[in-house]
Amino acid sequence: MTLIQQIFWGSLFLGLCLVLETIMLLWCGDTLRRHKARFGQRRGNMQQLVTLLISIGFVVGAHTAQIWIWSAALILKAQTFETWNAAVYFSIATYTTLGYGDIVLDAEHRIFASFAAMTGMLAFGISTAFLVAVMRPGRSDSPFRSHT
């Protein structure tokens, strides 16, 4: 891929992943509102635990799906890996910005793959902000308060 192609395709996959992240977190917010309606205004430890577990489940699901998207992009679009094992491993190491460095891509794909790291940084930031909002439901500006 040329530099322009790497930037174009990397931006496209980054955008796709962040749209997925947004959809998953909106779905989680809706699920949390239904959970809150089912259990009323009780603020016990068990309700907080269930709320946090639901939220973490959605966040982990969103990140896992994004890693699979990048793995598929590296196999199908960039054709940089022959096995899913190598593609998923590289995607996880890049997405989490861990970057072991034991797999190094050729110059035609390095910029493209670096967009996976940008995706991970943005997604982890969004997820962190979401979890902070979930753990502060008593605030009047919380996105999870009832809209009655």
pLDDT in tens, the chain (148 residues): 899 999 999 999 999 999 999 999 999 999 999 988 877 666 678 888 889 999 999 999 999 999 999 999 999 988 889 899 999 999 999 999 998 889 989 989 999 999 999 999 999 999 999 999 998 856 544 555 555 4
Q: Which pTM value belongs to this model?
A: 0.86
* CA geometry: angle 62, 99, 102, nearest 5 deg: 125
Q: Return contacts of 106-111, CB within 8 angstroms, 24+ apart.
A: 106/80, 108/1, 108/2, 108/6, 109/1, 109/6, 109/74, 109/78, 109/80, 110/6, 111/3, 111/6, 111/7, 111/10
CATH number, domain 3-39+47-134, options 1.10.287.70, 3.40.50.450, 1.20.1630.10, 1.10.730.10: 1.10.287.70
CA distance 6 to 16: 15
